[in-house]
């Protein structure tokens, strides 16, 4: 389609804000897992007893670093799908003034994401260690500095806010509601007032449960709501929807929640692993089948949801249809689940 391919994609058209984590992965042995009380396959938040583990894993011979954190992963994948120009994606988040922070900056640059971190000295850069034994991965996340994002000290500054104004599409994962709900609200209101697209991810059941008030303050500004089936079910239960196991009905109910910008109808998109993705178009609910994959070819489904969102956003900033956005989401997720961690080949093969 020559017309579509001529659309000029602007720098900084996609804006993401969230918890930046430096992903550190290395192959370890059972003694290493035992020393830090880790299960071979798990996903936990770091406790005091894990603090020394991050330095120890960084000394392993084949250690790999990647720019991580849910939202940063999604914008990184969107940038990868788009390829050129560089810096279509902007990312805001908080890091420390330390070695891991420098690596993170370098990794974001390599991914061609325009990362503008708020750097503070109180807390070290957030990390997520992937301790690999064979096909197993034990993930330990330490948010640290990511928790210290500050609206007044970063988002409100002229040079930063200009980048928010420059964007056309906004994406923030629900996780960030635990860090800076006032920052989310400011961006969401800006999008709404200027008839631009604001999207939010439910991110995890605990967000719908324990950050309900903050979430529902933002909901009236949400143009696109993402989530997976588990998150959707918890959201429905917390909101008192009478149907909590019919995903299409949950999508319909979420779609019709109050909305400030009446020029755009909310779109709700729920993924269900290998099952169809559910999306609302107006009041209608449509199912979209995912790309076929031999289940034996799946290496690691971590990051599948982040990749889906990234692929979706890459088409959304190019003003493509919902069908195209979902197709790109399924493509990106399909690439990522064939590989260990949230990594991708040099170029996408997405027609």
Ligand X SMILES: Nc1ncnc2c1ncn2[C@@H]1O[C@H](COP(=O)(O)OP(=O)(O)O)[C@@H](O)[C@H]1O
Q: Which candidate, 233, 171, 217, 223, places its Cα nearest to that of 192?
A: 223
* 112: alpha, beta or left? (left if phi > 0; alpha if psi -120 to 50): left
Regarding 305 and contact with ligand NAG (CB under 6 A), the answer is yes
CA distance 183 to 186: 5
Q: Which candidate, 71, 122, 123, places its Cα nearest to that of 93?
A: 71
Would you say 189 or 274 has its CB closer to ligand X?
274
Q: What number of other Cβ atoms are within 10 A of residue 162's Cβ?
A: 10
Please pick, from the candidates 273, 281, 320, 338, the single residue that binds ligand X as defined by CB under 6 A: 273
Long-range pairs for 235-243: beta carbons < 8 A, 24 or more residues apart: 235/202, 235/208, 238/208, 238/209, 238/212, 239/208
Regarding 183 and contact with ligand NAG (CB under 6 A), the answer is no
Regarding 301 and contact with ligand X (CB under 6 A), the answer is yes
- The single residue of 23, 114, 300, 306 carrying the catalytic annotation is 306
CA distance 143 to 139: 13
With CB under 5 to 8 Å by kind, the binding choice for 23 among ligand NAG, ligand X, none is: none
Task: Name the closest residue to ligand X (Cβ).
Answer: 305
223 tagged catalytic: no
Enumerate residues 306-335 that contact ligand X by CB under 6 A: 308, 330, 333-334
Please pick, from the candidates 79, 125, 183, 201, the single residue that binds ligand NAG as defined by CB under 6 A: 201
- Whether residue 200 contacts residue 172, with contact meaning beta carbons closer than 8 Å, is answered with yes
Enumerate residues 204-243 that contact ligand X by CB under 6 A: 228
Provide the 8-state DSSP code for 126: P
CB 152 to ligand NAG: min, Å:
26
Regarding 160 and contact with ligand X (CB under 6 A), the answer is no
Please pick, from the candidates 168, 186, 212, 274, the single residue that binds ligand X as defined by CB under 6 A: 274
CB 171 to ligand X: min, Å:
15
Quote the tokens at residue 94: 């908080």
Would you say 110 or 245 has its CB closer to ligand X?
245
CA atoms within 13 A on the CB side of 321: 4
Regarding 334 and contact with ligand NAG (CB under 6 A), the answer is no
Regarding 198 and contact with ligand NAG (CB under 6 A), the answer is no
Binding residue count for ligand X, defined by CB under 6 A? 17
Regarding 308 and contact with ligand NAG (CB under 6 A), the answer is yes
Please pick, from the candidates 119, 120, 133, 150, the single residue that binds ligand NAG as defined by CB under 6 A: 133
With CB under 5 to 8 Å by kind, the binding choice for 293 among ligand NAG, ligand X, none is: ligand X
Please pick, from the candidates 46, 269, 337, 342, the single residue that binds ligand NAG as defined by CB under 6 A: 269
User: How many angstroms from the chain centroid is the CA of residue 112?
Assistant: 17
Regarding 309 and contact with ligand NAG (CB under 6 A), the answer is yes
Regarding 233 and contact with ligand NAG (CB under 6 A), the answer is no
Quote the tokens at residue 31: 């003694």
Regarding 78 and contact with ligand X (CB under 6 A), the answer is no
What's the angle, vertex CA 215, arms to CA 283 and CA 155, rounded to 5?
A: 115
Query: According to DSSP H, which parts of the chain are helical?
Result: 2-5, 30-35, 51-58, 70-82, 99-110, 158-166, 181-193, 205-210, 212-218, 229-239, 247-255, 304-316, 322-336
Regarding 273 and contact with ligand NAG (CB under 6 A), the answer is yes
Regarding 69 and contact with ligand NAG (CB under 6 A), the answer is no
CA distance 167 to 155: 14
- Whether residue 340 contacts residue 304, with contact meaning beta carbons closer than 8 Å, is answered with no
Interface residue list for ligand NAG (CB under 6 A): 40-41, 70, 133-134, 136, 173, 201, 203-205, 226-231, 269-271, 273, 305-306, 308-309
Interface residue list for ligand X (CB under 6 A): 228, 271-274, 277, 290, 293, 298, 301, 304-305, 308, 330, 333-334, 337
Which residues are the active-site residues?
A: 306
């Amino acid at each position: 389609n020559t017309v579509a391919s001529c659309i000029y994609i602007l720098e900084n058209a996609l804006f993401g804000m969230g918890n930046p984590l430096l992903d550190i992965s290395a192959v370890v042995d059972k003694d290493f897992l035992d020393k830090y009380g880790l299960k071979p396959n798990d996903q936990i938040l770091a406790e005091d007893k894990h603090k020394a583990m991050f330095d120890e894993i960084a000394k392993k011979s084949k250690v790999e670093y990647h720019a991580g954190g849910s939202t940063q992963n999604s914008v990184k994948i969107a940038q990868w799908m788009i390829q050129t120009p560089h810096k279509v994606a902007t990312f805001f988040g908080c890091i420390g003034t330390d070695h891991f922070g420098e690596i993170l900056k370098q990794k974001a640059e390599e991914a061609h994401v325009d990362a503008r971190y708020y750097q503070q000295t109180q807390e070290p850069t957030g990390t997520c260690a992937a301790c690999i034994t064979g096909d197993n991965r034990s993930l330990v996340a330490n948010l640290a500095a990511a928790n210290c994002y500050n609206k007044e000290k970063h988002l409100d500054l002229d040079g930063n806010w200009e980048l928010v104004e420059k964007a056309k599409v906004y994406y923030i994962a629900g996780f960030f509601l635990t860090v800076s709900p006032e920052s989310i609200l400011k961006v969401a209101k800006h999008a709404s007032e200027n008839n631009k697209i604001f999207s939010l991810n439910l991110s995890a059941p605990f967000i719908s449960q324990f950050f309900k008030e903050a979430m529902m303050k933002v909901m009236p500004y949400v143009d696109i709501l993402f989530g997976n089936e588990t998150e959707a079910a918890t959201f429905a239960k917390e909101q008192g929807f009478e149907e909590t196991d019919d995903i299409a009905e949950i999508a319909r109910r979420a779609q019709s929640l109050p909305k400030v910008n009446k020029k755009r109808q909310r779109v709700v998109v729920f993924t269900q692993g290998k099952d169809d993705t559910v999306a609302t178009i107006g009041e209608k609910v449509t199912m979209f089948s995912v790309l076929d994959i031999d289940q034996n070819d799946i290496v690691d489904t971590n990051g599948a949801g982040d990749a889906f969102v990234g692929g979706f956003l890459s088409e959304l900033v190019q003003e493509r249809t919902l069908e195209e956005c979902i197709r790109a989401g399924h493509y990106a997720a399909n690439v990522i689940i064939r590989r260990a961690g949230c990594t991708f080949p040099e170029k996408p093969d997405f027609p």
